[in-house]
Structure 1
């Protein structure tokens, strides 16, 4: 079986409802992305960078449970906190010498477990290595953005 036989494609479609509000469809689900009122939005949903780290938290949750189960580690009450700092000046066109995205992200996964810290450290390392969303955040991923007239 070739490597290509293992590839799964994921896709979404999104439609702009306003300058700040987007409705996204993913499989049979729909969700709203919007900016807070302080950034000109209507605050009808999390903003794009909040969804990004929210997606990472969701992925980390799946992976920590999967790897924990594989290793026989009982995990209860998993809670994930992610925080990051972002300088909006590039997005706003006010500076070219800063990144448009997060400058740094930090994750803390809180668990109740009888496992010792060495076991939890090894679990953390494996989870970070195996999380698809974390992989995309932590490593360059080729992108191709095209704008076409209808």
Structure 2
């Protein structure tokens, strides 16, 4: 696995992986950028959210949990002027007929397996979670 970051202009850069994908990162205008993309710090939190979503999907398939919709919000906080995240709340929203207990078990397994979440945990970031069942229209 490899990531390469190439400066483009101002505070903006393009990050590529070794599989042909790329993202643009930048700073908001208030911090000297042109707001052409998320900041690297925001991408870090976005990666956690995406990882939980992906791993939950994998675990749910193994547990035979079917769902119509799945949304994972991650909310990062920096307490007492910390330079990085001190706390992250994972909010899983799901439209599923599966029992609350089964969804809870799936999320617990997901949090143990999510490599990005493991990195956050090893860095001492306090992670909490909640599950919300989506209401059918």
TM range (shorter): 0.7 to 0.9
- Mapped pair 1:12 → 2:3: yes
Length-normalised TM-score, structure 1: 0.75
Work out whether residues 65 and 75 of structure 1, in 8 Å CA contact, stay in contact via their aligned partners in 2.
no
Greater gyration radius: 1
Out of 65, 69, 72, the position equivalent to 1:73 is: 65
Q: Which runs of 5+ in 2 are unaligned?
A: 124-137
SS state at 2:53 partner? helix
* In structure 1, distance between residues paired with 2:13 and 2:93: 32
**Which residue does the alignment assign to 2:90?**
107
Segments ≥4 residues shifted beyond 6 Å: none
Aligned length: 123
Q: Which runs of 5+ in 1 are unaligned?
A: 1-9, 88-96, 141-150
1:55-100: per-residue Cα shift (whole Å, max 9, x none)?
112111111111001011112210111111236xxxxxxxxx8531
TM-score (norm 2): 0.81
Distance, in Å, in 1 between the alignment partners of 2:9 and 2:77 is 26
- Per-residue Cα deviation, 1:126-147 (whole angstroms, up to 9, x for no partner): 010011111111114xxxxxxx
